[in-house]
Structure 1
Amino acid sequence: MRTVDAAGLSIGDDHPTRIMGVLNVSKESPYKPSVYNDPGAAAEYVDEALIEEGADIVDVGLESANKRLDVLSAEDELDRLDTAIETIQSVSGDAVFSIETRYHEVAEAALDRGFDMVNDICGFADPEMPRVCEEYDVAVAKMASPPDLERPGAVEDVDWSARRADGRERSGSYADDIYEALSLNGFTDKTIVDPAFGGWSEAKTLDDDRETFRRLREFRGHGRPILVSINRKNFLRDLAGRDTERALPVSLAATAMAVERGAHVVRTHDVAETRDAAIVGDAFTPARLRDEEAGVEELDARTPAEVRRHLDRIGAPADIDHAARATTRVFELSGLTERDRATLTAPPVGAGFAPGSETGAGVLYGTPAALRSVVREVDGSERLQAALAGIEDALEDAE
């Protein structure tokens, strides 16, 4: 996992989760407490509600990305840039300033006038955006999106399978489409990936966002820091039956989970609370070996699907199912007969069975490939066969 330097702020596994606070100079933006068109009032908000509360990055939006609103042109965004520039020039606190845009012209103008990084909500749909970010040597958050400047995040009706380099068929999974969208048009050396949570199109469902969140660790397969924007999002509010005003608790719960699953930057309107949730997530994220000098890094990959992302990234051969051999699952069994326990003490290579002192108990463990061999080869009691069938289903679910 590479570390990205954003104007002196290090973003990556070896550093605390970074908090990105939000300021909008767009009157259309739905979250009104963050919307300002007066530079003085905006600067006061940034100092008091964002930086003093713990924001490392301030993301300034020039327009709302709401799919129901007309898309502003680059010229329209540039007309609003003056307010953003005056604001950051009036801020007294210290933060990295990010410009949220889809246009390279706007990014370039903002970087020329004091901004430090770019938040591209159209995922390099503007082919000149990577060039600008590379020439200015700045960090850029790249949100998953189709190659269309007018449809940020609406990836569901693009046939990403036709763009796959490995030739695999499309799985039909929204999360897979998001993963492929992030690969489109490549990366800069300082790219941060954003899996595009939220209602970017009418076709996208809450379950699509939940699937992407469940599989967030897979996005580490790109080898780049991850930004998540989940604050008060519908896919979380719906779980608890909360409206936007009462959705902070579910956002904070998800923030801690996202950090443990690999998020490095959390974009939020609720800076102080989100910072606390991220601290909890950081504290309970397991330590992993990472030694650049020795050339070794322990991957945060716990399922075959997560391992497969890393294998794809390094171009590992696909003729051997290394992903199924690289992960281990552990299952406790009970109610086994003595014959069952005797049969399991000599499982296929890659699996093991530890009988417990309690009658009928034991722990079966191994790689998914080895456990599938156990399912195929072991003939036991009806209870054991039912347990093995359940294990097989669990292995399929992890794929």
Structure 2
Amino acid sequence: MVVDVDICGLKVGDEHPVRLMGIINLSKESFYKGSVVSNDSLLDVAQKMIDDGATILDIGARSTWPMANPIISEEEELNRMIPALELLNENVDALISVDTVYASVAKESLKHGADIVNDVSGFTTNPEMMDVVAEYDCPAVVMASEEVPGDPIGMDEIMQSLANIISKADSKGIDTSKLILDPAVGKWIPEKDPIFDFETIDQFESLRVFGRPLLAAVSRKSCIDAVLHKPAKERLYGSLAATAIVIHKGAHIVRTHDVAETKDVVEVAAAMRRRQPVVKEGDFEVSISDITHPDDAEYLMRSMKVTGSGAKVMKNKTVSKVVRVNNITTTEALIIKQEILARGGDAALERDAVSHETDKTDVLIIGTILQFEKLVHKLSFQARNLPLIAEMIAEVLENDMDVEHGYLREL
């Protein structure tokens, strides 16, 4: 499914340039002090961001950093936000996003010219936020959250959280095509280790199954510190590396403290991102869904109103794997080929093995997750080394899905 939406007159999606969202913090409590802007410099900073390529400005009057201190009141947040909005609306040409979790702040901000609500709690801190978004029919950035901002750990929980947010928003009458999804990169809760952010960045394309604009907020985040061991003010180059990855993986909007430096990275990474194939004719549309994980297929099917039980049954049929087994006997290879063929897959081995002219061979096994599960079960009851080979195939497939195996290493 190709993403193509209109955000307050700004085209966002697969066929449009990646949009830059410049971060303007009015909150001195923010984790990155270099992003804090005074009232005196607000216009100059905003205009420079626009000149450097930002089409959206994200204004935060209260730090959403979990360790921010002190925590200010909604009244203080409004006292900071409204004068800034009035000044910006009169003087700059860009969409204005307000970074807040409070419905009262969002409502007053929208009254004073804000275009977008950016709620890092995904409508959980203040459920009334959904009423405000529905009333004003405005675009909203929603971050994966369940009980507190950013609490899902791992891609599975992030996907489930975003699916829940979309469903709740729909039930409240929100036009969910105007939701912009943020997978919550960052150490939002103490239990979240950097490897889960690595997984999110590496598997960012999984979010495409929701068919909505994707926002990447990786700028100067703690996962970069985990690799470079540098404070926020020294994480620019690490941020740019992470940004290039998420752009290549499908991000449509990049939220950044450093617009000028990010612009070139975004343009180059976007130019190297492969276009999604789609053919349209009249009312018909045919496209290819790049599914790399069975759970992604389940979310896609559920979004199409497939029954939950049906989606669970079919998801393991949607992802194919190619597994290479080295240095096994020709007889074992031929048995594997026979068994995977019986389950709808296939296997490739050298020509001499087929005619029994060699004792040892490698075999390339091709099949869906479901076909491999059935193959492993069958081989576990066979003779020779086939039970061991079955165990090894099962282990390598399990490791392929395991976060710790994929990303945990000494940094």
Fold-level match, TM-score > 0.5?
yes
The 2-side partners of 1:283 and 1:391 are apart by: 37
Structure 1 residues 291 and 95, CA, compared in 2 at 3 Å: closer, same or farther?
A: farther
Are the counterparts in 1 of residues 336 and 347 from structure 2 also a CA contact under 8 Å? yes
Please name the residue that 1:389 is paired with. Answer: 391
Equivalent runs, 1:51-130 vs 2, <5 Å: 51-68=50-67, 69-89=69-89, 91-92=91-92, 94-125=93-124, 126-130=126-130
- Offset of residue 235 of structure 1: 1.4
Contact 2:214 2:252 in 1 (8 A): yes
CA, structure 1 residues 11+386, in 2 after alignment: closer, same or farther (shift >3 Å)? farther
**C-alpha contact 1:100 1:118 (8 A) present in aligned 2:** yes
Q: For the residues of structure 2 that align with 1:373 and 1:30, how far apart are their CA atoms?
A: 50
Aligned to 2:7: 6
2:18–2:266 contact (8 Å) kept in structure 1: yes
Q: Check conservation: 1:356, 1:363, Cα contact below 8 A.
A: no
Tell me the distance in 2 between the aligned counterparts of 1:300 and 1:205.
28
2: CA distance between counterparts of 1:82 and 1:316?
A: 45
C-alpha contact (below 8 Å) 1:145/1:152 kept by paired residues: yes
CA deviation after TM superposition for structure 1 residue 61, in Å? 0.7
Q: Give the structure with the larger helix fraction.
A: 2
1:245 aligns with 2:228: no
Determine the structure 1 residue equivalent to 2:161. 181
**Counterpart of 1:334?**
326
Q: Distance in 1 between matches of 2:337 and 2:155?
A: 39
Shift of 1:398: 4.8
* Pairing 1:158-237 to 2, within 5 Å after superposition: 174-182=154-162, 183-184=164-165, 185-187=168-170, 188-189=174-175, 190-237=178-225
Q: 2:313 aligns with which of 300, 321, 339?
A: 321
User: How far did 1:387 drift?
Assistant: 5.0
Equivalence for 1:145: 145
Q: Aligned partners of 1:362 and 1:276: how far apart in 2? A: 44
What TM-score results when the alignment is normalised by the length of structure 2? Answer: 0.81
What is the one-letter code of the residue matched to 2:264?
A: D
Cα 1:58–1:241 shift into 2, 3 Å: same
CA-CA distance at 1:388 after TM superposition: 4.2
Q: 1:176 to 1:361 in 2, by over 3 A?
A: closer
The answer on 1:131 being equivalent to 2:119 is no
Deviates more, 1:205-214 or 1:23-32: 205-214
Q: What is the deviation of 1:28?
A: 1.9
Q: Could you tell me how far 1:386 is from its partner in structure 2?
A: 5.0
What stretches of structure 2 of length at least 5 have no aligned partner?
353-357, 402-411
1:352 aligned onto 2:346: yes
Mark the CA change 1:199 to 1:290 in structure 2 (over 3 Å): closer, same or farther.
same
Contact 1:122-1:142 within 8 A present in 2 as well: yes
User: For the structure 1 residues 66 and 287, does the alpha-carbon distance in structure 2 shift closer, same or farther, using more than 3 Å as the test?
Assistant: closer
* Structure 1 stretch displaced more, 385-394 or 183-192: 385-394
Q: CA RMSD in A?
A: 2.7
Task: Give the Cα separation in 2 of the matches to 1:141 and 1:314.
Answer: 22
> What SS does the corresponding residue of 2:343 show, helix, strand or coil?
coil
1:266 counterpart letter in structure 2? V
1-structure distance, mates of 2:250, 2:75: 37
Change (3 A) 1:390 1:249: farther
Counterpart amino acid of residue 368 in structure 2 = T
Question: Which residue of 1 is the match for residue 404 of structure 2?
Answer: none
Distance of 1:350 and 1:14 partners within structure 2: 37
SS in 1 for 2:21: strand
Q: TM-score, normalised by structure 1?
A: 0.83
CA distance in 2 between counterparts of 1:342 and 1:176 reads 37
Cα offsets for 1:168-207 (capped at 9, x unmatched): xxxxx54444334332432532111112222223333323
TM-aligned CA deviation for residue 329 of structure 1: 0.8
**Which letter maps to 2:76?**
D
CA-to-aligned-CA distance 1:77-114 (integer Å, 9 cap, x gap): 2111233224413544x322111111222222222222
The residue matched to 1:192 in structure 2 has which SS?
strand
Residue 263 of structure 2: SS of its match in structure 1? Answer: helix
Q: Distance in 2 between matches of 1:270 and 1:380?
A: 61
Distance 1:253 1:391 in 2: 34
Task: Tell me the distance in 1 between the aligned counterparts of 2:264 and 2:6.
Answer: 23
Q: CA deviation at 1:60?
A: 0.8
1:349 Cα shift?
3.0
Q: Distance in 2 between matches of 1:357 and 1:279?
A: 47
Which residue pairs with 1:163 in the alignment? none
Q: Which residue of 1 aligns with 2:335?
A: 343
Q: Could you tell me which amino acid in structure 2 is paired with residue 306 of structure 1?
A: D
Q: 2:22 aligned with 1:21, yes or no?
A: yes
Distance across 1 between alignment mates of 2:240 and 2:384:
46
**Any runs of at least 4 consecutive aligned residues in structure 1 with deviations exceeding 6 A, and if so which?**
none
Q: How far apart, CA to CA, are the structure 2 residues paired with 1:181 and 1:104?
A: 20
The 2-side partners of 1:392 and 1:244 are apart by: 41
Task: Give the number of aligned pairs.
Answer: 375
Instruction: Give me the identity figure in percent.
Output: 32
Of 288, 292, 311, the residue aligned with 1:298 is 288
SS in 1 for 2:15: coil
Give 1:9 shift: 1.2
Do the aligned partners of residues 3 and 128 (structure 1) sit closer, same or farther apart at CA in structure 2, a change above 3 Å counting?
Answer: farther
